[in-house]
Structure 1
Amino acid sequence: MSEKHTIKLYENKHQEKNEVARHQHDISHQLLYVLDGEGRCELHNSSQELRPDSIVLISPHTEHAIHALSKMTVLVLEFNSHHLAEDVNAYLVEPVFSVSRVLNLSLFESSEIRQLLRKMLFEQSQVHPIHAIGLKLLLAQVLYQLTIMQQEDMTQDMNARRAKWLKNHLETRYFEIASMEELAAKAGVSSRYMNQVFKEMYDTTPYQFLTEVRLIKAKKMLQESDREIVSICFEVGFEAVSTFYRVFKKYVGVTPNVYRRTTDDFRN
């Protein structure tokens, strides 16, 4: 793989009973994402089933083979880690590819990875050099999501895994979530189901948790900066200043202005 093609994302179509003979890659890491169809993947001496939203993680020098049991469409993400930043390799590539294996993602997990892969396909189609940087950033995000998933306790039931994924998403992407309905649609589940599994795990609704996360961030900014309240409102994800004031007073007991003056008086 040349410097110009440090990261490549492409589609492989397999006909029923098609086989990719056992082989290995000397330099590149590969991530195979099954979009459609069923098959098997041989890694070392084990054989594992593939289905939609399965991910195959293949480290360099790992012998592997693919057998399609039906028509199967696979996205192949291939990259040379030698051209990635040192911290990306140390904290993301090495943990994710420590063992070549197959992951079967939940609806919540797969929706996140699918969205990132779509963005990568777009960036790859552009010719300006700045899009090569975007491609690296998106690869790091894919690896970050897989690292987070790897840290989960896989002995938990599926609902617990979904609730933990959602909690992490709310904590880290609080600024871009427009509505719970949109988030549920993105994850491919109903908002009612999403509320149910989250409340069973954390005894609060996703909306209440998101509000708490946003208010914690806003209070910290009010305490530690002199930024305009409208800027703080925007940064933590509220669409309107009036909504921010109303929610802040409801949960904190005073308006943002009063809260800032009170904390200023306390510090002085």
Structure 2
Amino acid sequence: MEISTVHESQFLRGNDFYFFILDKTESVSGLHQHDYYEFTLVLTGSCRQEINGKRVIMERGDFVFIPVGSYHQTFYDYGVTRILNMGVSKRYFSEHYLEMLPSCFIASQCYAMSNAFLTFIEATLSTLDIHQNECEEFNKLLTFYVVNRLRHYEDNPQLESIPGWLVQLVREMHKKSMFADNALENMVRLSGKTQSYLTRATNRYYQKTPGQIINDIRINFCKKQLETTNFSVADISFEAGFSSPGIFINNFKKLTSFTPGNYRRSLACPKK
């Protein structure tokens, strides 16, 4: 197995951090490792990370932390996925964060960010000029949150591996033909299980009901439409399967803290 190494000099270039917001549909890096620390947060959409031979599914609000020497690559099976990618120099991380890491943590693990902090990140990104010094404070705060999350995760029970049938089901539900109309009926039918069994499984492995999973998928679809088209909010809401624009707006604001119109306007935020 050939594993390439990405060096600090290629991205950090003597800086303490690098910070990208990327809309990804495929991975071009292949299997690789770093000589610096890195974490990736999903802002919109879904993807799979393979870390040290284990694959984990990441949804909106999930992040993975990649320590020095861990090999990984990303798979984008669900269309466009918006990610926030942060690199931290080995020197700076060792000086400021290394002592915070637990003595043992799982690198090949997906961690969930609190909804309140994710909302803060999205609101900050809508106004943050990442070419200015204020970005440095944001980098420090976000890295502190991530490392502190790892520090306290050891007190929580390790999540069980998600069954293959459920992984495949959620993947299929990202197809527009599945979530736009009769989504719950489609999900139950595709699962081959009873609705009550399916609900127990999604609650156990995703801590969500089937309806919440469908709602998340629809909101992700709507975010992509707001990002890439000029379609009206009403048209987008009906296309995603919401019964009315009002229900869509309420659900969108609950998950993102933005109205759809404000979210679309926030996309003027500069990106590297």
Of structures 1 and 2, the larger Rg is shown by 1
Instruction: Report which structure shows greater RCO (CA 8 Å, sep ≥6).
Output: 2
Q: Which has the higher helix share?
A: 1
Q: TM-score per shorter chain, which class?
A: 0.3 to 0.5
TM-score for the superposition, normalised by structure 2: 0.46
